[in-house]
Amino acid sequence: MELKKSPDGGWGWVIVLVSFFTQFLCYGSPLAVGVLYIEWLDAFGEGKGKTAWVGSLASGVGLLASPVCSLCVSSFGARTVTIFSGFMVAGGLMLSSFAPNIYFLFFSYGIVVGLGCGLLYTATVTITCQYFDDRRGLALGLISTGSSVGLFIYAALQRMLVEFYGLDGCLLIVGALALNILACGSLMRPLHSSDCPLPKKIVPEDLPDRYSIYNEKGKNLEENINILDKSYSSEEKCKSTLANGDWKQESLLHKNPTVTHTKEPETYKKKVAEQTYFCKQLAKRKWQLYKNYCGETLALFKNKVFSALFIAILLFDIGGFPPSLLMEDVARSSNVKEEEFIMPLISIIGIMTAVGKLLLGILADFKWINTLYLYVATLIIMGLALCAIPFAKSYVTLALLSSILGFLTGNWSIFPYVTTKTVGIEKLAHAYGILMFFAGLGNSLGPPIVGWFYDWTQTYDIAFYFSGFCVLLGGFILLLAALPYWDTCNKQLPKPAPTTFLYKVASNV
């Protein structure tokens, strides 16, 4: 199925709207998990490092499974994946309300909710990139603000629900709200040519030669029939041997078979031979797909900018994700009184992340702005801001740093744009899945490392020095790799030769 040219509007704006609400509903609770983190510390009495695994898994597992998520979206379509993942997120949140210990939360909140969010993120980004080309930066910026607005609203909402209904009631209500993802998914109409009929079911006789690894159908059928003949003759010999004694009389009754009885084995053997041939060809094609996938993966890592990009995203998530999870506990550890809180620090991070995603997404559409250098600048400034957190001892300074960190975290909106410019739209799903795997690894490791630093030193100072160093290191590595290479990335990439790996079967919609 070939996709139409990106319309850059029309139904694409409906896709932007429903993708915004999808990310709002699925990421609202996991990103605002800092509110629940404090409640879990008090409820289960575990260390900060161990408890931080719940929130880090919720954000990291979906990204770790990004290659699988990309494969699911490519195979089943964004609509089907979104509806299925909506059930996963809602079910995981409701199941977490019955958690008897922290280990149960690792599964229900960390793995189930996290995997559902990963599937939803991949689906919304992929279908938005299909609908937009010239305005892709703006569209990605708009949909990615959904998670940031969700963080802003859910931080206050979950705190209020905990006060009124307790931790368990809060999770049940938030899970019920997540069921609205199903309505959003139903509006994700796939972008394909309406005049192209759905492909009919392929039978061995109609199998195109270009999808056959070896064009030896006649030979294979003869070999399969010969094998079946040998098997059938052996079976007849066994029957004649067993026909002695008590079964001899029964054997005589079948001595003169009818014409219909003679033709039945022949028809059966032909059908089995055809199915055997088809299974062999299918196995060969599958093996060729895996070889092509591995070859394309190696080709991606030969790209110098792409290799630096995966290192940068890994280090960025190790150092940049913990503030959104731990900032409330940082304020409590700095003896900041709750009466001074004009607004939760997590809410400040959330609203500024939304602003950052929108503004950075708009900037990415300007031709005179180098998007890769813009992304590098956000990494370097963010690393410096993280190193400044140990010096913040009041609500005002923590709120200011939260605003800066939140705005710079908005670089998530231009990350798909940078990836597209680096590898091309044809390889976006493949490359983005790999990069999101490393982002998930960083998300999973970052908060527990910071929590362990606190358990070891009883202060967050060393932890945030480490976080800032990681982000700075990733930014400088990407900058050095991009300096002599970015101009070639902006050139028109040659269209890859069609292979069996690019063939897609249309899903029923």
Q: How many CA atoms lie within 13 A of 408 on its CB side?
A: 27
Question: C-alpha distances in angstroms, 357 versus 246, 275, 375, 384, 415?
Answer: 85, 53, 12, 20, 10
Domain region containing 391: 283-487
Does 121 map to a domain?
A: yes
Distance CA 41, CA 263 (A): 75
| pLDDT tens digits, 471-493 | 999 999 988 887 764 454 455 44
Residues 6+ apart with CB under 8 A from 243: 250, 251
Task: Answer yes or no: is 268 within a domain.
Answer: no
The residue to which tokens 């009184």 are assigned: 337
HSE at residue 230, side-chain half, CA atoms within 13 A, is: 5
Position 311 in a domain: yes
pTM greater than 0.75 (yes/no): no
In a domain, 275, yes or no: no
Beta-strand ranges (E) seen in 99-210 are none
The DSSP letter of residue 495 is: P
Alpha helices in 334-460 (DSSP H): 345-364, 371-388, 395-409, 415-423, 428-457
**C-alpha dihedral sign at 77, 82, 88, 92:** positive
Residue 289 in this model has a pLDDT that exceeds 60: yes
**How far is Cα 70 from Cα 419, in angstroms, rounded to an integer?**
15
In a domain, 86, yes or no: yes
CATH code of the domain in which 406 resides: 1.20.1250.20
Give backbone dihedrals phi and psi of 420, rounded to 5 degrees, phi first. -65, -45
Last residue of some domain: 146, 171, 192? 192
CB 281 within 8 A of CB 447: no
How many whole angstroms separate alpha carbon 406 and alpha carbon 46? 28
Q: Read off the pLDDT band of 175 (50, 70, 90).
A: very high
Question: Where among 150, 176, 192 does a domain terminate?
Answer: 192
132 and 82 Cβ atoms separated by less than 8 Å: no
Task: Give percent of the chain with pLDDT exceeding 70.
Answer: 74
Domain total of the chain: 2
pLDDT at res. 4: 57
Pairwise CA distance, residues 357 & 207, whole Å: 47
Q: Report how far apart, in Å, the C-alpha atoms of 239 and of each of 233, 247, 248, 252, 261 are.
A: 10, 10, 10, 12, 16
Is 320 in contact with 467 (CB distance < 8 Å)? yes
Same domain? 169 vs 297 = no
Assigned domain for 454 exists: yes
Same domain membership, residue 320 and residue 428: yes
CB neighbourhood size of 485 (10 A):
14
Are 178 and 307 in a shared domain? no
* Nearest one of 224, 191, 149, 455 to 329, comparing CA atoms: 455
Residues 173, 46, single domain; the answer is yes
Residue 402 within any structural domain of the chain:
yes
Query: Mean pLDDT over residues 129-146, rounded?
Result: 79
301 has pLDDT over 70: yes
- Contact between 352 and 406 (Cβ < 8 Å): yes
Structure-token match 């490519």, residue found: 74
Q: At 229, is the pLDDT very low, low, confident or very high (cuts 50, 70, 90)?
A: low
| Among 80-89, 118-127, 495-504, the least confident range | 495-504
* 244: its two tokens: 């002695």
For residue 192, what pLDDT band results from cuts at 50, 70 and 90? Answer: low
Last residue of a domain, one of 133, 160, 192: 192
Asked if 128 contacts 19 with a C-beta cutoff of 8 angstroms, the reply is: yes
In angstroms, the first-to-last Cα distance of the chain is 13
